[in-house]
Amino acid sequence: MATSTLTSEGHQLPTALEPRNPGMALDLDWVRSAQANTSAIERRAKTLPGRRSVKKDYQAAWLCKAISLIDLTTLSGDDTEGRVERLAAKAAQPVRADLLAALGMEGLTTGAVCVYHDMVETAVNALKGTGIPVAAVSTGFPAGLSPYHLRIAEIGESVKAGAEEIDIVITRRHVLQGNWQALYDEMKDMREACGDAHVKAILATGELGTLRNVAKASLVCMMAGADFIKTSTGKESVNATLPVTLVMVRAIRDYYERTGFRVGYKPAGGISKAKDALVYLSLIKDELGDRWLQPDLFRFGASSLLGDIERQLEHHVTGQYSASCRHAMA
């Protein structure tokens, strides 16, 4: 994971490596006691977009911060080596050099590049020397319904190919049936298969039924050793939302307060506008604090977001908006 980071004001600072979450024994009393007041959560979520307003240089700094937290992603059936190589080039130079120079942000990169297993080696080779990690989606992504031994084997293959981060998908029926032991055992096996690679547990929150289920699944995955918990695959009909984010980050806060270990958070899918990124960043700052505003503890799973941020930064520097087609991802 990254050893240097950008502050919310845009300054480069060293970051001590966070000890990995080792997990703990499954505490069913803690899991069963988890609650989620849906009406209160939704009311709070509605107030978030209007509670924080940053302008001018401060907004530009926050948008640069958001770029450093993006997992630049391509997960399409028609991915090619050329597309992944162009995406890697974009990750290493996410904004035009002249704009970064004007902002004093030379050297800014995205947090990672995320691809299917078949493209891991291509991405690793394309990113050599940049310090940008490759994340691989695994375990039968996005449904997670391939044979269990194949899902575990897929993790190992991606790690062997050079992936430093593995985004796994949980079995949703374990949550829907309240089978917390099965979910814990599955997550623990997947964490073990990752070895030194950090594991992001995708909950597919749009398919879990209730916010209470989201809270419980978050706790179980952290107890089993997840380094990150992530909202969605980006392929569901409902992906990252502010109510779900509130539930998950409060579970992370609760876990940290009880165990002393920080777990990361990744909202994925549906975040495509710079103004949305600012809302998520302010929520994380409010709920978890500045330490979580670093790429080893927070990521956006959103590639189209980068294009809109680049447009906003160009407007900040030049006073003019450019066409979206001038900011292609790959």
Check if the beta carbon of residue 87 is closer than 8 Å to that of residue 328: no
56 counts as catalytic: no
All residues at 6 or more sequence positions from 143 whose CB lies less than 8 Å from its CB, including other chains: 169
188 counts as catalytic: no
Question: Of residues 167, 227, 276, 296, which has the active-site annotation?
Answer: 167
Check if the beta carbon of residue 270 is closer than 8 Å to that of residue 279: no
- Cα(281)–Cα(9) distance, rounded to whole angstroms? 13
Return the number of other C-beta atoms located less than 10 Å from residue 176's C-beta.
Answer: 14
Q: Name residue 227's amino acid.
A: D
**Token couple for 100:** 């970064």
Question: Of residues 90, 188, 216, 266, which has the active-site annotation?
Answer: 266
- Cα(58)–Cα(10) distance, rounded to whole angstroms? 9
Question: Of residues 65, 90, 188, 230, which has the active-site annotation?
Answer: 230
118 counts as catalytic: no
- Cα(172)–Cα(208) distance, rounded to whole angstroms? 7
List, by residue number, the catalytic residues.
167, 230, 266
